[in-house]
A and B are shown apart, each in its own frame.
Chain A
Amino acid sequence: MSTGYLVLTRSKLKRQLKKQLKTAGALAVPGLLLCSAVSAGPIRHEEHFKVAAHPIITIHNPEGLITVKAWTKAEVMVISMPASNAVEVDSEQMGNRVDVTTRALSDSVSPSDMKADFQINVPEDAELQIHNDAGSVTVSNVTGDMNVETVAAGVDLEDTSGYLTVKTVGGSFQCLRCAGRIEVSSITGSFKLIDLKSTRVWAQTSSGNILFNGQFLPNGTYSLKNYSGIIEVRFSPADSFDMSATSLKGKVNNEAKLTPSTHEHHFMPRWGNALFGTFNQGRAKVELTSFDGTINILKRD
């Protein structure tokens, strides 16, 4: 109870100090401020936090471009650029966790002001929890677990691993050379999963398209599902998988020479257009399901 009070008080004090400094600056050097207002660019703020192994970084932002990159230093660098003076970015460290939050300074902030862009550098093994309604989220070379939630913001991941969970409402998702385990869901967002090295992929969208162009690793499970739109899977001759593809009211186009499956399926629908079979030894399990969309199983170029 008392800790919460202290934290709240510290946070309030910090904000008050910031306001007072701004006011003092305005009184002392009005000419300079006028110049800065005329050349009004984003206000850049840089902060550094020393962290131990496996730090957790949380980012909560209403709208903006968030770029997170891994580096070799045992510290987190947060460069924030709020869109206006009507919002502020609070970056606080609590033990091995760094929380970054964008706040409105009054209740009358317009949506166009309620934005901030970020460039954040983190240790490779950092765990990320990112919430960004609109704009974009880009993460590269981070190997820790990651949870990203957006409404309209697109999410681009590159060379990441760990347990990745991504949830968007309308934002697209792209994963390039990702490893580990991936769970992604959306309503209207499309997914592109390129050169993946994941052992477990679960992807579900309602009206978006899903492209999977990666390796089917032995013992991996790959489940791709949508209502409408196109599910496209690319395979190479060396791949080994057990395939189950069903489109209830759409088409299934297949270029893979499948042999009758020797594995038991607990789920053998008699409905819609469906195909089952094994490619090579059937080491990975691939399940493609659509309500009225098209499923394409195509040879990789």
Chain B
Amino acid sequence: MATDRCKDFLGRLDSWIAGERPAEAKAHFRDCASCQAVVEDLNAIQIEARSWRQLESEAPERVWTALRAQLEQEGLIRAEQPEREAAPVASSLADWLSAVFARIPRPALAGAYLSILVALGFALSGPVNQPSNEAKWLEGTRVVSSPISAQLDNFEQNTSLANRDRNPAITASLHQNLAIVDNYISLCEKSVQEEPENEVARDYLYSAYKQKADLLAQIGERGENVQ
């Protein structure tokens, strides 16, 4: 199981990938094989992501295996049954995400899972200030954000709070706030479309996705508790 230090480190993975490496994080990273493996895998994904056109087919199997192991270690998904281990590795990022998402046991955990996705998305978006042309940035952002957006939409459709929560005022408040976050996502998407290389806009977009994931997880958990 991951320690609290691991959780703290992984929770700030986006900063680490972006180059912000405080002394305590460095010390933990130096001594923790588990976190080293996650960073190594994210670096591998980043390298893969740079060749965007090939991403769908060429992400190495060990990346998916390592990420699956990490999600299992965090308790976000259950270990696969032996007969399923022989199943072929998902052929695309979206397929793999869908397969993992289907195994998430509880909506609350799905929020944490989606947070990992958002962190992963940030990692995939490449290092800041990396020179590249607009089309590549736009395509890169699309490849990363589309599966996240689709998963969030899917999660939202499956989260039917209205019939389950006791307090209509709280229900209304949650939905109102969800609409506000959706509006920010639209604004950020528009901003990213206009300026694909704008890392601040992209950071806000992923941050808004994460906020939506957290909010949907909260809504899902409420429904679950009421049942």
Binding site for B on A (CB under 8 A): 62-63, 104, 109, 111, 114, 133-134, 151-152, 169-170, 187-188, 204, 206-207, 225, 227, 246, 248-249, 266-269, 271-272, 289, 291-292
Could you tell me if A169 and B218 are in contact, using CB atoms closer than 8 angstroms? yes
Q: From residue A117, how far is it (CB to closest CB) to chain B in Å?
A: 16
Query: Of residues 162 to 176 in B, which have CB atoms within 8 Å of A's CB atoms?
Result: 166-170, 173-174, 176
Could you tell me if A111 and B166 are in contact, using CB atoms closer than 8 angstroms? yes
B interface secondary structure, majority: helix
B67 interfacial by beta-carbon distance below 8 Å: no
Taking CB atoms, residues of chain B closer than 8 Å to A227 are 184, 187, 204, 208
From B166, B174, B181, B211, give the contact of A151 (CB < 8 A).
B174
Could you tell me if B180 and A206 are in contact, using CB atoms closer than 8 angstroms? yes
Taking CB atoms, residues of chain A closer than 8 Å to B200 are 246, 248, 269, 271-272, 289
Q: From residue B179, how far is it (CB to closest CB) to chain A in Å?
A: 10
Query: Of residues 37 to 85 in B, which have CB atoms within 8 Å of A's CB atoms?
Result: none
Instruction: A111-B169, A114-B166 are known; give 14 further A-B pairs, CB within 8 A.
Output: A62-B166, A111-B167, A151-B174, A152-B170, A170-B176, A188-B176, A206-B181, A227-B184, A227-B187, A249-B191, A267-B20, A267-B128, A269-B200, A271-B201
Taking CB atoms, residues of chain B closer than 8 Å to A269 are 198-200
Nearest chain-B residue to A246 (Cβ)?
Answer: B200
Binding site for A on B (CB under 8 A): 18-20, 128-129, 166-170, 173-174, 176-177, 180-181, 184, 187-188, 191, 195, 198-201, 204, 207-208, 211, 215, 218
Could you tell me if A248 and B201 are in contact, using CB atoms closer than 8 angstroms? yes
How far is A190 from B14 in the complex, measured between Cα atoms in Å? 26
Could you tell me if A188 and B180 are in contact, using CB atoms closer than 8 angstroms? yes
From A204, A207, A267, A291, give the contact of B188 (CB < 8 A).
A291
Could you tell me if B166 and A187 are in contact, using CB atoms closer than 8 angstroms? no
Q: From residue B16, how far is it (CB to closest CB) to chain A in Å?
A: 11
Q: How many inter-chain residue pairs (CB < 8 Å) link A and B?
A: 80
Taking CB atoms, residues of chain B closer than 8 Å to A292 are 187
Taking CB atoms, residues of chain A closer than 8 Å to B218 are 169
Taking CB atoms, residues of chain A closer than 8 Å to B181 are 187, 206
Q: From residue A169, how far is it (CB to closest CB) to chain B in Å?
A: 5
* Given the contacts A151-B173, A169-B173, A269-B199, A187 and B180 also touching, CB distance less than 8 Å: yes
A interface secondary structure, majority: loop
Chosen A-B contacts, 20 in total, with CB atoms closer than 8 Å, are A62-B166, A62-B167, A63-B167, A114-B166, A133-B167, A151-B170, A151-B173, A152-B169, A170-B176, A170-B177, A187-B177, A206-B184, A227-B184, A248-B198, A266-B20, A269-B200, A271-B200, A271-B201, A291-B184, A291-B188
Taking CB atoms, residues of chain B closer than 8 Å to A291 are 184, 187-188, 204
Could you tell me if B19 and A266 are in contact, using CB atoms closer than 8 angstroms? yes
How far is A272 from B200 in the complex, measured between Cα atoms in Å? 9
Could you tell me if A133 and B170 are in contact, using CB atoms closer than 8 angstroms? yes
Could you tell me if B170 and A187 are in contact, using CB atoms closer than 8 angstroms? no
Taking CB atoms, residues of chain A closer than 8 Å to B184 are 206, 227, 291
Taking CB atoms, residues of chain A closer than 8 Å to B191 are 248-249
From A111, A169, A267, A271, give the contact of B195 (CB < 8 A).
A271
Q: From residue A36, how far is it (CB to closest CB) to chain B in Å?
A: 27
**Among B128, B200, B208, which residue has the most Cβ atoms of chain A within 10 A?**
B200
How far is A227 from B187 in the complex, measured between Cα atoms in Å? 10
Could you tell me if B166 and A266 are in contact, using CB atoms closer than 8 angstroms? no
Nearest chain-B residue to A171 (Cβ)?
Answer: B173
Taking CB atoms, residues of chain A closer than 8 Å to B19 are 266
Nearest chain-A residue to B127 (Cβ)?
Answer: A266
Taking CB atoms, residues of chain B closer than 8 Å to A271 are 195, 198-201
Taking CB atoms, residues of chain B closer than 8 Å to A249 are 191
Could you tell me if B174 and A111 are in contact, using CB atoms closer than 8 angstroms? no
Taking CB atoms, residues of chain A closer than 8 Å to B211 are 187, 206
Taking CB atoms, residues of chain A closer than 8 Å to B199 are 269, 271
Nearest chain-A residue to B129 (Cβ)?
Answer: A268
Taking CB atoms, residues of chain B closer than 8 Å to A134 are 167, 169-170
How far is A114 from B168 in the complex, measured between Cα atoms in Å? 12
Q: From residue B173, how far is it (CB to closest CB) to chain A in Å?
A: 5
Taking CB atoms, residues of chain B closer than 8 Å to A63 are 167
Taking CB atoms, residues of chain B closer than 8 Å to A248 are 191, 198, 200-201, 204
